[in-house]
Structure 1
Amino acid sequence: MDTLNIIGGGMAGSEAAWQAANAGLNVVLHEMRPSVGTFAHRTGHLAEMVCSNSFRSDDDEQNAVGLLHWEMRAAGGLIMDVANDHRLPAGGALAVDRDPFAETVTRRLTDHPKITLQGSEITSLPTEGHWIIATGPLTSGALAESIRTETGADALAFFDAIAPIVHAESVDMSVAWRQSRYDKGDTEDERTAYLNCPMDKATYEAFIDALLASEKTEFHAGETAGYFDGCLPIEVMAERGRETLRFGPMKPIGLTNAHRPDAKPYAVVQLRRDNKLGTLYNIVGFQTKMKYGAQTAVFKMIPGLQDASFARLGGIHRNTFLNAPTLLDDQLRLKSRPNIRFAGQITGVEGYVESAAMGLLAARLAVAELTGQALPPVPATTATGALMTHITGGADAKTFQPMNVNFGLFPPVEGLKSGRRGRRDRYKAYTDRAKADWLDWLASDRVPA
């Protein structure tokens, strides 16, 4: 059997290596860290989480990303298996203790007899062999230039931002309180997984003023990339209107101030547990491009965070992705070099889970090709297939932008009500159909689930 080479040890590359190795292929996983660092990463571990510690909703009946969780679990996915082992209370979301998570993924891959980890930077597109490129949003400059040269056009790009992390002991709990929105969660630990910092109108208005006036990171001359709407810096959201944050990450609905139950907050800042010990919390939705000094000053205006100590401040970086509808075929192969597949965020999906799912799929497609297996197309009715269809031709190439999984990508189920009133039945019909179709597709695939 031929060797499969994978460039990039993030979510997509790690999942791809696991899937291919379990199918019997010899895998060489090329990861340039820690010898070559990036803006966002802090360790040399595989599958290091940098932007958030959350895989978002785990509801596999009413949420498309929860359905994607289910599909990956059904396919024997490494990322979801390790996430379950290191999950933290987070209401209805799947959040993980990020350092032990990455350490476990690294250990399981390096312990696999079919996987060889090679700590080197690949600086150009390979001409021979079978490859998956899963270098993610922080593709090295040399490899990105090689991709641009091969495709004949500049890679599209947007800016991605990271939220700050706070030491829990520095949060004033005489002001903040523990509660998940709408008390969501099956256990008391889950229902109290978030810290909430309330604002009255005057405090909110002063916070917005400071946010807008703060000193921000300036981009280099000629930088024309925009932002991905799912990860907008908080100050960019504020620039779109003074009330934008109150209807976004700072919405006060579904929360009751435990210290003043009769006083409805005008806005609420939520912090989500970031590690198992509960010693670190990240500020939900507060990714930022403010300079470090400005972040400290502005975020300490939040009631309860006036004495906050930051384990990590926020930041912004350039995120590169392909115009996949133009450049990739329906097997995730580069049309001009079919020995190379792409997976993960570089294909134009957004999010940890979506990236890992494309790694899972790319590996299974590679296994089928290398073993001469006739594998049917991935059903577009599944979460994995809907994403695949979108990036390889379903999206308009002229306006292609990174996309999270959502039910808008799925073919409609005939005979169901439209609108909000029929939404729960519609989403349940989507997920029921997807699960049946995904299991049928897995049954046609020789990769063990």
Structure 2
Amino acid sequence: MTQAIQIIGGGLAGCEAAWQAAEQGATVELYEMKPHRYSPAHESELLGELVCSNSFRSNAGDSAVGLLKEEMRRLNSLVMRVAQATAVPAGSALAVDRLCFATALTQVIEKHPRITVIREEVTELPTSTAPVILATGPLTSPGMTTSLLQLTGTAHLAFYDAIAPIVSADSLDNAIIYRKSRWDEATPGDYLNCPLDADQYARFIDLLSSAETVPLKSFEDPKYFEGCLPIEVMCERGRDTLRFGPMKPVGLAHPQTGKEPYAVVQLRAENCEGTAYNLVGFQTKLTYAEQKRVFRTIPGLEQAEFVRLGSIHRNTFICAPALLDASLQMKKQPGLFLAGQLSGVEGYVESAAMGLLAGINAARWLSGKEMAVPPVGTALGALIRHLTESDPQHFQPSNVNFGLFPSLTQRLRKRNRGEYRAALALQLLAEWQVGLG
């Protein structure tokens, strides 16, 4: 492998791809435009900066995303290793201290003997004979987007992700807020809960319904990802939508009184010290002033100090079924791989997973080996199938979920299906790994 694999973008997918390719013996050049240029959502020079939630979601082995994490661990995922090392308490979820996570990831990548980090912006697709991995993320720059469009010959799709606010822990009213994880009776729990009665909930909904939002530009068409809807958009769907969504009180009875509130706002730790908390599911495009006014009506947040306010950002992705093959290569340009959210997946874990596969395949392409395509019965394979076999006319990004997997031929009780799928997937993955060579 005398040529260097060029990777554009130092986010989760780019870092994972660089690590995987380098561990396969390839030389890697990782291009990152920060600190010379920042996207609207980024502010740190570090690689792997998390700009939305600090959660990698469920760790449960019988959940689709928990299974995906385990598959990645078995394939030597750097992102999973660093996430585990920088984890903060989050119940059954894997959440990280975002600063510690990005710092550790940056250090590992910069110290790897076969990876060179080049701090400059790349605005056009390289014309290299060596493999290129494009992992520029949801906020791909205009120059690179134009270059990509020239190659694909088709308009890209876009929707908008909204970011949740973060509040300072010492500004919370602990006389009102109580600690409890949903359904967890044995331990105090990892989540803080702000309880609302019916009148408080009604007032909150009234304020939210009339609050001012940041207007979209005339050329912007909001195509929100259903798994990350702004709370004000959910509120528009009905007064009880939030109470059956992120403000669901089920399983969160007060540990002292045993009373279940009418609605709940949950807070999740943002760092190891527990000095900052994220409003779970409260991604929003309200103006900054309105966020402070509306969210401070939530019981326990009356004096809240906002470490970060919510915002909205664009997510750019390609129509993967029309453009990608199962190795994540562009059909029109072999040797050009796409990874991360740009490839058409949604979520931190899924983005890193596509980086993992792109990195492995770029190294295999360089050494003349057959491309590595995981079995469809695995979480990795299910995502690849979604990207390559969905209807191009109706394609939308997706988190990993068991609905993407092949149908089960066995009749099982609902509660046993996840465990069965996970066991089958890990068996398929092990057999596939043996055959990779």
Bin for the TM-score computed over the shorter chain: over 0.9
Equivalent position of 2:433 in the other structure = 442
Equivalent position of 2:382 in the other structure = 386
Work out the CA distance in 1 between the residues paired with 2:213 and 2:113: 48
Deviation, 1:413, is 2.6
TM-score between both structures, scaled by the size of structure 1? 0.95
**1:365 maps to 2:361:** yes
Equivalent position of 1:216 in the other structure = 213
**What amino acid is aligned across from residue 107 of structure 1 in structure 2?**
Q
Equivalent position of 2:12 in the other structure = 11
**1:282 maps to 2:278:** yes
Q: What is the DSSP-based 3-state SS (H/G/I as helix, E as strand, rest coil) of the residue aligned with 1:341?
A: strand
Any unmatched runs of 5+ in structure 1? none
Q: What is the DSSP-based 3-state SS (H/G/I as helix, E as strand, rest coil) of the residue aligned with 2:299?
A: coil
Deviation string for 1:403-441 (max 9, x for gaps)?
000001111231223xxxx11222212111100111122
Of 317, 342, 347, the residue aligned with 2:343 is: 347
The number of residues matched between the two structures is: 435
Q: What is the DSSP-based 3-state SS (H/G/I as helix, E as strand, rest coil) of the residue aligned with 1:39?
A: coil
CA contact (8 A) 1:413 1:429 kept: no
Q: What is the DSSP-based 3-state SS (H/G/I as helix, E as strand, rest coil) of the residue aligned with 1:227?
A: coil
Q: What is the DSSP-based 3-state SS (H/G/I as helix, E as strand, rest coil) of the residue aligned with 1:206?
A: helix
Of 279, 304, 313, the residue aligned with 1:317 is: 313
**1:292 maps to 2:288:** yes
Cα separation, partners in 2 of 1:355 and 1:90, compared to 1, 3 Å: same
Which portions of structure 1, spanning 4 or more consecutive aligned residues, are displaced by more than 6 angstroms?
A: none
Deviation, 1:376, is 5.3
Deviation, 1:269, is 0.2
Q: What is the DSSP-based 3-state SS (H/G/I as helix, E as strand, rest coil) of the residue aligned with 2:120?
A: coil
Work out the CA distance in 2 between the residues paired with 1:73 and 1:247: 34
Cα separation, partners in 2 of 1:375 and 1:216, compared to 1, 3 Å: closer
TM-score between both structures, scaled by the size of structure 2? 0.97
Of 334, 341, 346, the residue aligned with 1:338 is: 334
Q: 1:48-447 counterparts in 2 under 5 A? A: 48-60=49-61, 62-128=62-128, 129-183=130-184, 188=187, 191-258=188-255, 261-375=257-371, 377-393=373-389, 395-417=390-412, 422-446=413-437
**What amino acid is aligned across from residue 330 of structure 1 in structure 2?**
A
Fraction of identical pairs, as percent:
51
Work out the CA distance in 2 between the residues paired with 1:73 and 1:331: 20
Cα separation, partners in 2 of 1:365 and 1:285, compared to 1, 3 Å: same
Any unmatched runs of 5+ in structure 2? none
Work out the CA distance in 2 between the residues paired with 1:239 and 1:207: 13
**What amino acid is aligned across from residue 363 of structure 1 in structure 2?**
G
Deviation string for 1:26-83 (max 9, x for gaps)?
00000111210111112011111110110000011x2000000100100110000011
Deviation, 1:375, is 4.6
Q: What is the DSSP-based 3-state SS (H/G/I as helix, E as strand, rest coil) of the residue aligned with 1:444?
A: helix
Work out the CA distance in 2 between the residues paired with 1:217 and 1:443: 52
After superposition, the CA RMSD in angstroms is 1.2
Deviation, 1:443, is 2.1
